[in-house]
Homo-oligomer: A and B are copies of this chain.
Amino acid sequence: MTEKVLKAIQDYYPDDFAYCYGCGRRNSEGHHFRTGWQGEQTISLYTPLPEHTAIPGFVYGGVIASFIDCHGTGSAALALHRKNGHEPGDGTEPPRFVTASLKVDYVKPTPQGISLKAIGTIHEIHPKKWKVDIEVFAEETLCARGEVVAVVMPSTFLKKD
């Protein structure tokens, strides 16, 4: 049985927030990470491309860090959206988060050619700042642990719009 993310928060970001190289649906070159609820936790699935190598056979750590990064901001957006009474696809624009900090512990070499799964556990620090603890699995093997602190996008990011 293949797992799927049905309603991802990234499917509903406003267009001007949909060009992220990690998770923007409008970035034709990007990874297109997608993050949805799985009970009270969050899930993203991604199969790295053949060129995303560390050494042949194993996935590049920077792609794993990217996966964790966008899973973190997506999870925070899901959580604040739900706190505000909304779910992805209900017609209300979700909040937008950016990453304040990112930590990754590489637990095991991550094999290539396998769908990776990020599972997030979300903690509210305050309404505009959330921490997401993330585990990345290749099948049943825990390959990396991450922590993302995400904050509601500050207005400085919008000045160029």
Contact = CB atoms under 8 A, between A and B. Distances in A.
A100 B104 CA distance: 8
A53 B19 contact: yes
Nearest to A21: B60
A62 interface: yes
A66 B62 contact: yes
Interface in A115-161: 156-157, 160-161
A108 to B, nearest CB: 8
- A19, A60, A109, most chain B CB atoms within 10 A: A60
Interface of A: 16-17, 19-22, 24, 27-30, 49, 51-58, 60-63, 65-67, 69-70, 98-106, 109, 156-157, 160-161
